[in-house]
Amino acid sequence: MGMQYQVTRFKSLTVGLKELEPFIRNGEHLQTGRPFGRFGEMRSREMLANWLLCAAVNFSTAPDRLTFSSDPLGGDGIIQDTTTGETWQTEHVMVPRSRTGRVEDVEALILSAIEKKRRKGGAAYARGKTLVVFREAAGDQWYPNKVARRLPTPLHFDSVWVVGLRSVEDDRYIYDATRLDLTHGGCPVWRVRITPDFDGWEVEPVQ
């Protein structure tokens, strides 16, 4: 019989979004905020990134099929398929925004962050895990297909996602969630628009 671990999760993605609202509006907390002890030492940006990943994938399945929890083994959260019971352990890395406000080469920064995480522990550390890059850096438009073609080999991680704020329009926070996977010809991108009251969201596949 396998060991049972205690994890923390939101009752639903809707509840999770409302809990994350102050940190999303703050913005600075996503960059520098301290980890939450009651949520397995996860940071607000890690919780938001996992939330975005779940919201994006659930668009084509069911509203709360994918959910996420803390990781009792020290990772940055576990994604769970509530239908099949399948789980994916995540590791996160951030591409911070420039303190000087200068425009940066976002593609190079994303690739550098992925390489840094890949080299941290090698194959054993990365095997079976999903790497999530939280992009805070502002800069020129970046092209997911181009980045996917330049991923390091061997990658070690099972998959890589990049999530980041696209814009704020009429008090709607708009994020992109991108999977760096060229299996079907181009990297899938989902645009997640959070409603102004943070009580809901809309998802649009854009690539």
In a domain, 97, yes or no: yes
In a domain, 195, yes or no: yes
Interstrand relation of 159-169 and 129-135 (parallel, antiparallel or unpaired): parallel
In a domain, 8, yes or no: no
In a domain, 49, yes or no: yes
Q: What is the CATH number of the domain that holds 43?
A: 3.40.1540
Query: For residue 74, what pLDDT is reported?
Result: 84
In a domain, 74, yes or no: yes
Phi/psi at 128 (5° precision)? 80, 0
Q: Report residues of the chain scoring pLDDT below 70.
A: 1-5, 101-103, 138-140
Query: For residue 138, what pLDDT is reported?
Result: 63
Number of domains observed in the structure of the chain: 1
Alpha helices (H) along the chain: 13-26, 28-32, 44-58, 106-126, 144-149
3-state secondary structure of 94: strand
Of 64, 106, 59, give the one whose Cα is nearest residue 81: 64
Query: For residue 1, what pLDDT is reported?
Result: 34
Query: For residue 2, what pLDDT is reported?
Result: 39
Cβ-based neighbours of 32, under 8 Å, separated by 6 or more: none
In a domain, 127, yes or no: yes
Where are any strands of DSSP class E within the chain?
Answer: 66-69, 78-81, 87-95, 129-135, 159-169, 172-179, 189-194, 201-205
Query: For residue 68, what pLDDT is reported?
Result: 95
Q: Tell me how far apart the alpha carbons of residues 27 and 167 are, in angstroms, rounded to a whole number.
A: 12
In a domain, 6, yes or no: no
In a domain, 161, yes or no: yes
What pLDDT digit, counting tens, does each position of 109-120 carry? 999 999 999 988
Q: Domain containing 26: what range? A: 13-205
